[in-house]
Each structure stands twice: as C-alpha cells, then as structure tokens.
Structure 1
Amino acid sequence: MRLRIRHAEGMATLSDVKQEDTVSMLKDAIRNAISLDATRDIQISGGYPPKPFNDMKMDLKNAGLRDGDTLNIKLVDTPTPQQQQPSSTTNDSTPSGTLKALKEGSVQTVNGVLQLRLIIPCFNVGYVLRRDTTISLELRQDKYMQWIQKPNSWGGAIELAIFSAYFGVEIDSIDVQTGRIDKFGEGSFNERVLIVYSGIHYDALALTPTIDSPPDFDQTRFSVGENSILDAAKQLVDGLRKSHKFTDIANFTLKCEQCSTGLKGEKGKVDLDQTVDIFN
C-alpha cells in the first residue's frame, strides 16, 4: 500500500505499508521517511476532513486507510519546564517569530504554508468546504431561490450562515480592507474554514506543505482550537491590505458602457442594475 505524506518540510511517499501494520508502526515508518529524530513525536491525521489517528494499536485497515491516501503530519513537541512558563501571547495565539511572510498571499507556519488560492471567484467557498469547484453550481440550483440563480448574483453573510449550518463547519471570513473577522457558526462546530473577502468576492485559504505544492495537497478544514492558523491568516491579510488588494465598495467608480453614466460605489451599481432589470 502506498501512502502520500505531507509535512512542514515538504512531501514524501511510503510504498511498503501493509494494512495489518499498526498506527504505531506507521509513525515509525514516517519518522524514517522524513529523517525525524526518534525523540520527536508526530500526530497523524487523514481522511476528509482530516481526523487524527490516536489509537496506536489500531491496524491501518480498521483506521480506514487505503492505497493512495494522503496523510497530514504535525510535529508534536513535549514542552520543557521553561517552555511551559507563561508567554507574552494570549488566547493561545501563535508565539512571536513562528510566522513568516514568504510572498504576497503566503505565510509560513510551523505546519506548512498558508496560501491564498485563487480558484474561480464563484467557486472559492465551495473549495474550502469540500475541495470541490462544482459545488457552488449544485447549491445554487438546490438551495437558493430564483434571485441567487442569476449568474450576476453574488452571495454574502446570509449565504455564508446557510453554508455554515448546512456543512456543519465554522466559516471565518476576513475582510482585507478592515481586517475584521466575521465568524459564522462560531461556538457550534469543531472545525473551521477560512476565506478572504476582497470587497468584490471571496478567496480561499489553504494550508499546503510548501509554497509551490499543487492544490492536491491542500488542507482547507482546521480545528477551531488551532489558533496558529487564524494568526497566520491575519498576517496574510495584513500583507494584502498593505498592497491594497481590495476594492473599496463604498467609493469605487464605474462607467456604464451603454449610457456612459458615471457611478460611484456599490449603491450606484445597484441602482443601475435595477434600472436595467426594469427595461429588460
């Protein structure tokens, strides 16, 4: 059985794993594959959304692993007495210095690289929920009323709240312009997904082993207790804001190509859209 391994330093492949092997044996094989010191512990998670394998005596067949599966590996350090002393951070935030901006839209974390994934604007929310770029079309047909089925209609807070309840996951939307985080389903679920709002549409955030890893290795669901991911997302968005990668919907200007009318902000666009609907 072949298993793909993704970790903070990159990717690896195990090609001689047997279904009757235990999770403990798998951990040893992974340590050897990534040249990890025997004193360092690791946490293995797999499936979708990723779930940790905590029973070291369970065989891989009963753990649900199959040939070709991808596993996420997280280093778990045993804190020393010095490390257990209170730090300057609060609310389980990431310690200073463990996050590093690599390039615009990418932040290095202890477990990989958090990246902005620009799929297709109307597919990004579906991507973080199910890693499926076709789900938005499905939801528009089955769960929305006539208005949202129009190709020029875009969802917002109401739709994100619906998605949160439907998929059983907290959705954290970070506004690039203000840095505000809107949490849909907060306190109701054990996992969260992250999206970035640019003022026009939502973009996906995904954790990947390296900055150039393909989307096949993306992780888009995270434990709500994993605050380091949220800290990395804030830093990533701070970089986008400094580069002005957002649209100020209250003050942007448009010009109608048909009537040459000058428009300001989202209200001007809405007024024009309503006028067009009347004459269509």
Structure 2
Amino acid sequence: MSEPDEVDLEKPNAARVYDYYLGGSHNFAVDRQMGDEAIAMWPELPQIMQANRAFLRRAVHYCVEQGIRQFLDLGSGIPTVGNVHEVAQLAAPGSRVVYVDTDPVAVAYSKKLLTDNPDADIVRADARDPEAVLDSDEVAQLLDLNQPIALMMVALLHFVGEDAHPREIIARYRKAMAPGSYLAISHATDEGRPDVADEHADLYRQRTATPMTFRSRSEIGAFFDGFELVEPGLVFLPEWRPVSPSEVGDNPERFTALVGVGRRL
C-alpha cells in the first residue's frame, strides 16, 4: 500500500513513534530515529506504552461490562494489535466503533484494516474540533448519540496544549454524550519521574508538530468534571483494575501516566 501523498517523511509523527514503541511496522526511519533517542534518555518508554495499551484494553472491557456497545476513539493512531474494535467486538459482537485521527497514515491504514468490518470506521478529523467529529458521516452512520457511548481519550490530551483549552473541548463532547456514557483518559504526568519528563517534552517540542504537556494529578482530574470517576479513581497506569497484582509491581509511579474512567452524570 502506497503512502498518502501529504505524508511528511522528514518530520517524526507522534502516532507513528507510538506505533514504533509498541513494536508496530507502520512507521518510518525518521520516527524510529526519534523513538530510539527517546528510549535512550528513558529506557522504560516501551514498557510504559505497552502498559498504556493494556489500560485501553481493560477500559474497553469495563465499558462493555457496563452495557456499552458503541465507542468513539479520539486520536486513535496507527492500527495495532489490541485496537478498540478488536477488544469490544470480541467481547460483544456487533459493538460499533468510530476512530478519529488527523494523521493520513493512521487513517489510510485504518481504512484498509476496517474494509470488511461494517461496524467500525475512521474519520479524518481533529479531535480538538468536537463539532467536526460529531457531525461526521461516520459518526452519524455508526453511533447513536442518544444512547450511552464510551469516549476514549487515551494518550491524547497530553498533546493538547492549554492554548487549545482542553477542558472546554471535553465539555463540548460531554454535552453531546447521553447520561450513562463513559470517558476514559490516560495522560502523561510529571509525577513519578520529573527528572526525565522535561527532557522528554523538549524532544517532542523540538522534533514533532505535536508538543507534549505533562500535567499534574489535579490538572488531569479536572478533565473529569461532569463525570463520576469509577473505582479505583485516578491512578498510575498499572493500578487501574489490573488483571493480576503482578502487573502493578513495587513502583507503579514509574509508568508516569495517570488514568481513569468516568461515568457521565
């Protein structure tokens, strides 16, 4: 499959670098170079990204258990093993999923992956523009916003700076969500490893079009305004409903991301 014409092969892309961390194949030399630089300064990064993907799977399973059968995944990135539609449709066949991303590579590969799946699609749109996302043909065809949905903001909001007003963005999505819907967030935090957080943020600021913003626990918690956090609340990546105690380990703060799932009031 040829790459979309508008792909910039000279600048690393956060979605493709994330794919590289996860061991995926939908990335370019420039992405791998940046990924290797980041890993050199922060060797635990691949494990952190794998823990983030594991949280996504657990959050989807939780939402399915609560009766959710439709998912809107913002900033979905490159399709890799364990995507939302794979997890949800295996647990509850017929679950409907709409992915959202701006990266042409992520959209092109997702379109190819989902060709034979009538219950999943992707829209190329900016998650920071809720109206464009919610008014898209893909959402209209697959999701019933009068019924509860799960809104996935996994590893997304730390790429949304304060100048974009992330709390206002979430509030606009919340307004469109039926009571009983769920919001899942994972977000990089400077708690746990402040010694490398600033250096890592500088790398993304200098090399990509999507600089990172590390936020505090209180700042991330504020994103759940209008939602009731489900147990265990806002915790480090492996602490959210682990399958086994061994997943948590002795120092969960080393995973440097806070996660939570909230129910729309």
TMscore range, shorter length: under 0.3
Q: TM-score, normalised by structure 1?
A: 0.22
Larger radius of gyration: 1
Which has a greater percent of strand?
1
